[in-house]
Structure 1
Amino acid sequence: MVPSCHWLFQKASIRMVSNIMSTQQHSIQFNSKSFSFGRHETFALRFGWLTKGFQGLTINPDIFLDEDATVHLGVGKNMVSSIRYWMLATKIAEIKGSHIEASEIGHLIFSETGWDPYLEDEATIWLLHWLLASNSQHATAVYWFFNHFHKSEFSSDEMFGGMKEFVGERLEGKKVADSSLKHDCNILTRLYVPSQGDKRTPVEDALDSPLSTLGLMNKSELSNRYVSKPDGRWDIPLGVIGYAIGELFEASDQSSVAIEAIVHGTESMPGLGSTFRITEECLVSKIEELITWVPGVFELRESAGIYLLYQLEEMLPIEFLNMHYKAYEMEIAA
């Protein structure tokens, strides 16, 4: 069968990614000198914003500096800045000099021939969550919450206290205004908690973020608290798991990574168990499925009571996603 133009484009894009990987700094590693709080203009990410921002950016590279950006994007002035921020936070765009450009992963997802420009596949939302929660540089609060805040039930005050403690301990004496931290705590709940349909809530605040569909944080039914705990999340696609593990291997630059590090992360690296709020049992099962799905790439071994995942053959993280979306496209076409 002759490949479609869509998949020829994807393969060409993946080769282009391969050519630049060696010159890119691994952005999933925590850097205490590079962080960001309160840049979202108090707006949570909304459905359509990344698509709208990407399309605008590819038509006009200076769209976010354009005086007519509000007209072209169809949003208010502060929302223009917020869209720009969320594109950086989800790694759909990256800073180049004095402006931003669509990233490789941005092109692969959101271009006209991209994998899923309108977020129709839930895998894309899981992927965006990983890209956001592993981005300590531009989404420090989200990175902190999923990788360093381990209370399964908490109040807004406890979340604020934990974030403030993290800033004091990990950001080398840098000070962040309490107001910025409180805004980020509020944004975290609006990103991940489905709206309750309260009539007193302003319409704009009740618009759910795409990330709220993942069930990673919920309002407690018994009190004014929040719940975010590990669960058996069997529906996370293998392509997304493979992409995240592939990024861990690239960032560690090692041929093996301890399962404990993959699950819980380290001081400088995100963990899949923490980020996806997935139980260790479920995650290990997903890794075993991944080993079967891509034969010859990974292998689980046990040494002195420590379980390690070995990478036997180099495979770009992007290629796991390509496998998923190719299967998804065939499923939709069937």
Structure 2
Amino acid sequence: MKARFTGHETFPLRYGWLQKAVNQLNNKGNLSISSDESVREAVIELGVGKNMVSAIRYWAEASAVIDLEAQAVTEEGNYLFGKKGKDRYLEHLGSVWLLHFWLNFNYKNLTAYRYYFNFSNARHFQKAKLVDDCIEQAGAICTGKIPNETTVKKDIDCFLNTYCHKQTVAKKKGAINEDHFSSPLSELNLVEDTGGGYYICDLVERSDLPIEVFMYGLLRFVAVETEQSDSTTMGFDSLLTKPYSPGRIFQLSEGGLGQKLDQAQLYKESGISWTDSEGLRQIAFDKNSLANPKHFLDIYYKGA
């Protein structure tokens, strides 16, 4: 794993950016910033400044909707944002949950948000402490040079601005700062800014997380974890606390994960069953379901 705490130019993800990136590449455009000509082309086509071109490029790659090396749209990108995409304008909250999963289900690069959602156990935290913890974790699991404190702080600021509704301190008490409405991920209410550099992210049931998106994330995780074995079972605790698990990424409480598994078990064609008796909590999976997790997204969008 490599540390990657730069690239977004401190811009939080905004509505419309990922669709712009997908359209640009599908229309044979270019998102490369390796030459002045390609940058000028992207500035004209996307209708934004140079720094925003870099930010769009960063978020589109980070969310796995484009392949920068190939300068091409991925299967995920076309699935959601292509000409026949399921939700090009992120009108369904399930699409935002899906985007959150894609951003954080990444074993290759560590960012501030991937650190927090996959490795941190801090529920009520101070931003300054999060910077220190993130640097420490990067030093423990990443190869190559670890960015300095200033760089990590900027990435954490961007992470928090992407996921939080910021409260203004001027004019009307409790008013929402319109500058932060532009990030779709703030709709998930995963992280709350309580003021003074303090934040809260409680583990809860996540009733607004569609069961189909949960099952997609669950099966993606299990497929990776069982790739080198023939195992079709996994312990409850692994699904709750292991990095990149649905419990971690979706920030589910123990009861919340249990409820989602109950729903999944009753879901038609889920191929999922689980036991919770005498201290043994184990989940069993059907190999056919593991082979096609996108099937459940198709069901979600058919009924959305």
1:323 alignment partner, one of 286, 293, 299: 299
3-state SS of paired residue (1:38): coil
Contact kept? 1:239, 1:323, Cα under 8 Å: yes
Offset at residue 177 of structure 1 (A): 2.1
Supply the distance in 1 between the matched residues of 2:278 and 2:72 (Cα, whole angstroms): 47
Structure 2 vs 1, CA of residues 139 and 76 (structure 1 numbering), >3 Å: closer, same or farther?
A: farther
Instruction: Look up the match of 1:36.
Output: 4
Instruction: Look up the match of 1:258.
Output: 235
2:26 alignment partner, one of 37, 55, 58: 58
Structure 2 vs 1, CA of residues 173 and 61 (structure 1 numbering), >3 Å: closer, same or farther?
A: closer
Structure 2 vs 1, CA of residues 232 and 204 (structure 1 numbering), >3 Å: closer, same or farther?
A: closer
Instruction: Look up the match of 2:205.
Output: 232
**TM-score of the aligned structures, taking structure 1 as reference length:** 0.80
3-state SS of paired residue (1:220): strand
Percent identity, aligned pairs only, is: 28
Contact kept? 1:190, 1:208, Cα under 8 Å: no
Code of the aligned partner of 1:49? W
Deviations 1:173-218 (A, max 9, x none): 6322222211111011101111324569xx9954531100101001
3-state SS of paired residue (1:68): helix
1:141 alignment partner, one of 92, 100, 112: 112
Offset at residue 227 of structure 1 (A): 0.8
Instruction: Look up the match of 1:190.
Output: 161
Structure 2 counterparts to residues 95-244 of structure 1, below 5 A: 95-96=68-69, 99-138=70-109, 140-172=111-143, 174-197=145-168, 205-220=179-194, 223-244=196-217
Contact kept? 2:29, 2:42, Cα under 8 Å: no
3-state SS of paired residue (2:294): helix
What RMSD, in angstroms, separates the aligned Cα atoms of the two structures? 2.1
Supply the distance in 2 between the matched residues of 1:64 and 1:95 (Cα, whole angstroms): 8
1:46 and 2:17 aligned: no
Supply the distance in 2 between the matched residues of 1:180 and 1:205 (Cα, whole angstroms): 22
How many equivalent pairs are there?
A: 288
The worse-fitting range, judged by mean Cα deviation, of 153-162 and 300-309 is 300-309
3-state SS of paired residue (1:157): helix
Supply the distance in 1 between the matched residues of 2:156 and 2:119 (Cα, whole angstroms): 14
Deviations 1:86-124 (A, max 9, x none): 01111111233xx43111011110112111000000000
Supply the distance in 2 between the matched residues of 1:107 and 1:198 (Cα, whole angstroms): 41
Code of the aligned partner of 2:247? G
Supply the distance in 1 between the matched residues of 2:303 and 2:270 (Cα, whole angstroms): 20
Instruction: Look up the match of 1:81.
Output: 54
Contact kept? 2:60, 2:66, Cα under 8 Å: yes
**TM-score of the aligned structures, taking structure 2 as reference length:** 0.88
Supply the distance in 2 between the matched residues of 1:118 and 1:301 (Cα, whole angstroms): 39
3-state SS of paired residue (2:187): helix
Code of the aligned partner of 2:10? T
Code of the aligned partner of 1:144? Y
Offset at residue 252 of structure 1 (A): 1.3
Unaligned runs of 5+ in 1: 1-31, 329-334
The worse-fitting range, judged by mean Cα deviation, of 40-49 and 271-280 is 271-280
Structure 2 counterparts to residues 290-305 of structure 1, below 5 A: 290-295=264-269, 297-301=271-275, 305=279
Structure 2 vs 1, CA of residues 247 and 228 (structure 1 numbering), >3 Å: closer, same or farther?
A: same
Unaligned runs of 5+ in 2: 172-176
The worse-fitting range, judged by mean Cα deviation, of 298-307 and 45-54 is 298-307
Supply the distance in 1 between the matched residues of 2:95 and 2:110 (Cα, whole angstroms): 18
Contact kept? 1:53, 1:83, Cα under 8 Å: yes
Structure 2 vs 1, CA of residues 138 and 101 (structure 1 numbering), >3 Å: closer, same or farther?
A: farther
Contact kept? 2:31, 2:57, Cα under 8 Å: no
Structure 2 vs 1, CA of residues 171 and 108 (structure 1 numbering), >3 Å: closer, same or farther?
A: same
Supply the distance in 1 between the matched residues of 2:135 and 2:232 (Cα, whole angstroms): 36
